[in-house]
Amino acid sequence: MKFLRLILRSFLRSKRRTVLTILSITVSVALIAVLQSVLATLDAFANNPNASNRIVVRHKVSITNMLPIRDADWIRQQPEVEAVMGLQWFQGVYLDRSNFFPNFASEAEYVTAIFKEEIVDYSETQFRDFLRDRNGALVGKALADKYGWKLGDVISLKSEIFPVTVRLTVRCIFQSRRPSDELALHFNYKLLEEGVFYMKGRTGNFFVRVRRPDDVPKLIERIDRHFRDAVDPTLSETENAFQLEFLRMMGNYTAIIEMITGAVLVAILIVTANTMAMAIRERTTEISVFRAIGFRTAQILILLLGEGILLSVLGGLFGLGLAWVMAGVVRNVAGTFLPYLQNFSIDAGTSALCFEATLGVGLLSTFIPAYQAARRPIVDGLRSL
């Protein structure tokens, strides 16, 4: 207990310096926590365990090239296949470009069979209404809540890819386990075919649900081999690999985030080391007096290390608190145009990593000046008395 009192007295010796150092650590830890959580969220988006038995079949030349929708008939005949759905990214704008959300022209009758892990709760009556209405829309609950849509509401989506605007009626609202999955909208593919002449009988890609994940590799190979010499050859891949391609459009985000994280850690180390070096240098005489009255070198070292660790731990805890607040901002702001960030949160693993890193910084930044001060000859420190 007496050691704790001594640590606190030393810790509060220069309140301004202590507060400024804690603030710098707080901001740095919050930034690291947010960056690492963004990385974890992006990795989870491209490594979705629910997609382990789904394949995406697209054109081999480019993701923007179309495939004949009749190709789905051959794929459905394969024994490993449970369901196949043609799906086309529509990129429709609702009122304003800032109102971004994923919207697709889909073969309506297969949507729930393909995405049964994402569309987990919906009314069968509403879904039948969606199938019966050529202009019907299947909407996630989070998306409906965001814009205040209710069953029967009419909405217009103007595509930025195709020269068509579709008027849709909300017929079915579904719920999901992940917030990002509830930001999607599906409408009947026939509307796109009727509105855009060159889309007649064509689609952007096929989503294929396989009965067993173990069958995915051989089915991928068989599909591509079958269509290899066709006018429109295919490239089949797992859904996770398909999603990863979109993330790669942002560049090597993993390396960028890790570089920023490393730079911030170095900055924390420098700031904390400089603060502790100054604090210990100012107490050279005091440390010598402690040793002269009987304090051992190990005890002096513990006192000084305790001060550095306390400084880092407080900064780390405040930083994690700030990161939790920033996570809500990321979900509400960035999540509007990057839907997968609706799943963003500071998880326990990231919090533990940040806390351990902060603790390590406290030890590293304090040990060298503390060891030098504890080993300094007593006479040298007492000369200034």
Are 228 and 262 contained in the same domain?
A: no
Are 33 and 138 contained in the same domain?
A: no
Are 222 and 186 contained in the same domain?
A: yes
53 lies in some domain: no
Tokens, residue 83 = 């369901």
357 lies in some domain: yes
241 lies in some domain: no
Of 47-51, 99-103, 264-268, 374-378, the poorest mean pLDDT is in 47-51
Are 224 and 112 contained in the same domain?
A: yes
Are 103 and 6 contained in the same domain?
A: no
- For residue 328, the enclosing domain spans 2-46+251-382
Query: pLDDT digits over 313-341, tens only?
Result: 888 888 888 888 887 777 766 655 565 66
Question: CA 171, 127, 181: angle at the middle one, nearest 5?
Answer: 80
User: How do 185-188 and 103-106 pair as beta strands?
Assistant: parallel
pLDDT confidence bin for 138, thresholds 50/70/90: very high
Q: Are 336 and 44 in contact (CB under 8 A)?
A: no
What phi and psi, each to the nearest 5 degrees, are found at residue 88?
-130, 125
245 lies in some domain: no
Are 34 and 88 contained in the same domain?
A: no
Count: domains in the chain: 2
Are 126 and 271 contained in the same domain?
A: no
Are 206 and 315 contained in the same domain?
A: no
Residue 385, pLDDT score: 52
Are 42 and 67 contained in the same domain?
A: no
DSSP sequence for 51-80: GTTEEEEEESS-TTS-EETTHHHHHHTSTT
Tokens, residue 195 = 């509105």
**What is the overall mean pLDDT for the chain?**
81
pLDDT exceeds 70 at position 234: yes
pTM above 0.75, yes or no: no
Query: pLDDT digits over 35-64, tens only?
Result: 887 777 766 665 666 667 889 999 998 888
Domain end point (choices 200, 232, 264): 232
Are 29 and 70 contained in the same domain?
A: no
Residue 299 CB burial class (10 angstroms; 0-12, 13-18, ≥19): middle
The number of helices, as runs of H, and strands, as runs of E, in the chain is 14, 12
Q: Are 149 and 170 in contact (CB under 8 A)?
A: yes
Half-sphere exposure of 217 (CA within 13 A, CB side): 1
Are 66 and 40 contained in the same domain?
A: no
